[in-house]
Amino acid sequence: MNKKKCLGCGALLQTSNPKEIGYIKDLHYDKAVICERCFRIKHYNEYQTVFKDNKEFVKMLKAINETKDLVILVIDVLNMPENLDFVKELLTNDILLVLTKRDLLPKSVSDEKLLAYIDNYHIKYVDKVLISSRKNYQLDLLLNKIMKYKHSKNVYVVGYTNAGKSTMINKYIYNYVKEIGMITTSMIPSTTIDNISVKINEELTLIDTPGILKEGSILYYVDYQIIKKILLEKEIKPKIYQIKTKQNIHIENILKVTCKESNILTFYVSNALVFYRTYGDMEEEIKLKRHILNVSDNSDIVIEDLGFIKVKKQAKIELYTLEGVKIFIRKALI
């Protein structure tokens, strides 16, 4: 039996174990281009969890580093990570920074401001581009930069899970290739299992890599219905709360923010999430972990993969969310 990879996730196709990645029924093997898992994600939105850890990704990045090829580092502009230390520690390749999902942030926020913010990571890069794959925004500009900076025909696409790597490559397939299958994309983290090579033209092959895991992502701690709300792909309409007396701002049953002093809190999260406000102390139906945050003026409170809250004035904020979800404070993005 000739070995071949799933065009959707990159896993090696196999017929022996339905519980392992890359499984396809034996009678379908000769004609199959995607595995059963990718088929069910694509057609039924069903998802089979694949457990990995970042040791595999460290090994992958070290292998990429040995190639010296250009690396496209993809960052979700709405969910920028706390740091990019893995780049400093593991990659000496030339880096082309790509901020994705521009369409999710308000048009009133300038591209220049978003691109300037990336310099807070203090990593070396050859260039940077802000794009929207969904809106086809600046993809031609990005392609020109890729062709300018690449060292060989192979260019690696790297980033955290759900940063938009596969979606970006699929748009290039649609725009420039058309005759090959699309990479499987899903709102669930870790859809891509192994490297997938996509030939764009005779001079360029984009290599999609599995997403690096964010262990503190809220997406690992909520059910599928909430995930669908969190990752709704529409421009965010910020929710602004002018706080005058102690009050609690709730999002679904996954977050509560308590502010006791006069302030302005602006929430940048999906419009599909349900907000409500309460006053005074109250018991939570679902136990949430309490975080006491001393926040400087014009700072963001980031809830990993949910979004962020801009705090106008210096304050002591109580934030409650699900156990295991990462919270950090940064200089305001907007």
Higher pLDDT, 20 or 67: 67
| 299-303 vs 307-311, strand pairing mode | antiparallel
Residue 274 confidence class, pLDDT cut points 50, 70, 90: very high
Query: Which residue's entry shows tokens 């893995």?
Result: 86
Question: In the chain, what are the domains?
Answer: 54-214 (3.40.50.300), 237-331 (no CATH)
Return the pLDDT at 180: 57
Q: Answer whether 21's CB lies under 8 Å from 35's CB.
A: yes
Question: Which helix (DSSP H) or strand (DSSP E) does residue 226 occupy?
Answer: helix 224-230
Residue 182 confidence class, pLDDT cut points 50, 70, 90: low
Share of the chain above pLDDT 70, in %: 85
What's the pLDDT tens digit per position in 82-93?
A: 999 989 899 999
In this predicted structure, the answer to whether residue 122 has a pLDDT above a threshold of 90 is yes
Give the separation between CA 189 and CA 49, rounded to whole angstroms. Answer: 9
For 282, phi then psi, to 5°, come to -155, 150
The residue-averaged pLDDT of 95-112 equals 96
| 196-201 vs 154-159, strand pairing mode | unpaired
Return the pLDDT at 185: 46
Letter for the amino acid at 1?
M
CB-side neighbour CA atoms (13 Å) of 11: 23
Say which range, 35-49, 62-76, 146-160, has the weakest mean pLDDT.
35-49
| 95-100 vs 71-76, strand pairing mode | parallel
Task: Give the DSSP per-residue string, 173-191.
Answer: IIIII-SSPPPP--SSS--
In this predicted structure, the answer to whether residue 273 has a pLDDT above a threshold of 60 is yes
Return the pLDDT at 14: 79
Cα dihedral across residues 161, 167, 173, 176: positive or negative: negative
In this predicted structure, the answer to whether residue 242 has a pLDDT above a threshold of 60 is yes
Nearest to 256 by CA among 320, 331, 323: 320
In this predicted structure, the answer to whether residue 232 has a pLDDT above a threshold of 80 is no
Both tokens of 46, joined, read: 């069903």
